[in-house]
Amino acid sequence: MSTAISMASMSTYAILGCGSVGHAVAEELVDQGKDVLIIDKDEGRVEALRDQDLDARTGDIADEEVADLMDDRDVILILSSDIGANRAAVENIRERDGDQFIVVRASDPVTADELQKLGVDVVVNPSAVIADSALRALETGELEYKAEQLAEVIDDTSGKMAILAHRSPDPDSIASAVALKAIAQSRDVDADIIYEGEIGHQENRAFVNLFGIDLLARDDVSLEDYDTIALVDYAKASEPVVDRPVDIFIDHYEPEIDYDATFVDVRPNVSSTSTILTKYIQEFDINLSDEVATALLYGIRAETLDFKRDTTPADLTAAAYLYPFADHDTLEQVESPSMSPETLDVLAEAIRNRDVRGSHLVSNAGFIRDRDALSQAAQHLLNLEGITTTAVFAIADENIYLTARSKDIRMNIGNVLQDAFGGIGEVVGHSTDASVEIPLGIFTGLEGGGSNRDTLLDLTEEAVRSKLFQAMGVEGSGSESGNGS
């Protein structure tokens, strides 16, 4: 029987040791209509409890006679400040082989461990509870203060706000921008979401299209037309993205560039910028539309690999808040887009050319037009039996593009790519998901990519594979190969 089911059926309670903590618990339980028996050795305290119509009796909770009174109690809360008496009470009760649910008070982590070993169900350390409560109050106060600062910057906007998502934005960046736009609109400020590069990955394009998210290309606008500039999820940019002051900067990574923004909220202790924006949505008490809720939920899920990568309690509570408002049918469509013919061709080529060494797979997909297909191929190959790490590379636009995935908790694939190609290419990503873009001439010595496609493939093939396997710590020949080179 689960604890939740057991607790739901419990109706009789006992509180052993009724100081200020026990008294507060007793009053709450009685208000809920619970049958509560109180045992305390202080006669004056017991008399005062009786004057409040509470069922209180005098007794030393360390005595075995008190344990006899617990036979008909479902839940026992041992809350005395005398930890030795608490320990004796637990021992006496458990010696009777009862199945009562026991909550006991401890004074520090050491005594908490000792009490846990005696068979209690929950150990409460008041100092830890107070510290946790204080930290939650601090977090609430800080959020309220930051929200006031953010509101002030938004309200000072006399024209329009430009919200810049990072280059070739991912779901977290897009969702964060959508949420900030919703906050601005709730304060009667118009905002545009602006991006550079391209919307890659079929899921990202489906995300934008299904929700009708309006994105403006950076080349099609002039930032001089905007009164306020906001950067969301932009910390990984390695060079300044605007040549004017930034008003708002929000990210879950420390920025590599000091933007000296008017308002800054950087929280490395959460795993997505969407989590941060969700907290602001809550603080501003905005009427949350299903489009914004679904976008933020998707942003959190995508950034944490559906809560399997570096997920924090803040990410989970944000997702829990968004879940009832989200459009789950649309979310399923976003997460399961149809595979394009070219993606299918790239996957087939990657399967054919795979080189497997142990649980690591590296493959060359040849020449491609859709670079997004590489990430999908790497993800699909990760589903092969026995494979924990995949890397798929290909040639396009005079560059080598490589995408890697890993579910091996011992490996940080971002560090692997940095070790292998950090000196010659631009690496971005996480411990489980990373990519690198390498100028083709680095390996070939040819400008413009050369004219012989087969020669290009031959020149890059072994160099990329050997560097990758070496960085992965894998030596020797492949244990499995496709039919390609």
Inside any domain, residue 130: no
Q: In this structure, are 291 and 428 located in the same domain?
A: no
Provide the token pair at 165: 């998502």
Inside any domain, residue 175: yes
Q: In this structure, are 274 and 388 located in the same domain?
A: no
Inside any domain, residue 129: no
Residues 76 and 100: their CA atoms lie apart, in Å, by 7
Residue 162 belongs to what domain range?
A: 137-334
Q: In this structure, are 330 and 345 located in the same domain?
A: no
pLDDT of residue 8: 42
pTM above 0.75, yes or no: no
Q: Which of 288, 356, 353 has the alpha carbon at shortest distance from 324?
A: 288
Q: What CATH number did the domain enclosing 316 receive?
A: 3.90.1640.10
pLDDT of residue 460: 78
> Is residue 234 within 8 Å of residue 241, measured between CB atoms?
yes
Q: What is the pLDDT along the chain (485 residues), one digit of tens a residue?
A: 344 334 444 578 999 998 888 888 898 898 888 899 999 999 999 999 999 999 999 999 999 888 888 888 889 999 988 888 988 989 998 888 878 899 998 888 778 888 888 888 888 887 777 777 777 777 777 888 999 999 999 999 998 999 998 877 888 999 999 999 999 999 999 999 998 877 766 667 777 777 778 888 888 889 889 999 999 988 776 566 778 889 999 999 888 778 889 999 999 889 999 999 999 999 999 888 989 999 999 999 988 878 877 788 889 999 999 999 998 888 887 776 666 777 788 888 888 888 899 899 999 888 888 777 888 888 888 888 889 999 999 888 788 888 998 888 788 888 888 888 888 888 877 777 888 888 877 655 544 444 466 666 777 777 788 888 888 887 654 445 554 44
Longest dimension (CA), the chain: 97
> Is residue 324 within 8 Å of residue 284, measured between CB atoms?
no
Q: What CATH number did the domain enclosing 7 receive?
A: 3.40.50.720
The domain boundary, picked from 334, 360, 382, lies at: 334
Task: Please tell me the total count of domains within the chain.
Answer: 3
Residues 305 and 344: their CA atoms lie apart, in Å, by 23
Q: In this structure, are 267 and 348 located in the same domain?
A: no
Q: In this structure, are 216 and 324 located in the same domain?
A: yes
Q: In this structure, are 24 and 85 located in the same domain?
A: yes
Inside any domain, residue 427: yes
Residues 320 and 376: their CA atoms lie apart, in Å, by 28
Q: In this structure, are 465 and 372 located in the same domain?
A: yes
Residues 366 and 349: their CA atoms lie apart, in Å, by 7
pLDDT of residue 160: 92
The domain boundary, picked from 309, 334, 359, lies at: 334
Per-residue burial over 363-394, b if 16 or more Cβ lie within 10 Å, else e, is bbbbebebbbbbbbbbebbbeeeebbbbbbbb
Residues 397 and 390: their CA atoms lie apart, in Å, by 23
Q: In this structure, are 308 and 221 located in the same domain?
A: yes
Q: What is residue 45's three-state secondary structure?
A: helix
Q: In this structure, are 388 and 461 located in the same domain?
A: yes
pLDDT of residue 346: 85
The domain boundary, picked from 318, 334, 350, lies at: 334
Q: What CATH number did the domain enclosing 427 receive?
A: 3.10.310.30
pLDDT of residue 5: 36
How is 67-86 classified by DSSP, letter by letter? Answer: HHTTTT-SEEEE--S-HHHH
Q: In this structure, are 177 and 288 located in the same domain?
A: yes
Inside any domain, residue 119: yes
Q: In this structure, are 160 and 305 located in the same domain?
A: yes
Inside any domain, residue 131: no
pLDDT of residue 449: 43
Give the count of beta carbons closer than 10 Å to the beta carbon of residue 285: 8
Q: In this structure, are 304 and 438 located in the same domain?
A: no
Say if residue 419 is exposed, middle or buried (CB neighbours under 10 Å; 0-12, 13-18, 19+).
Answer: middle
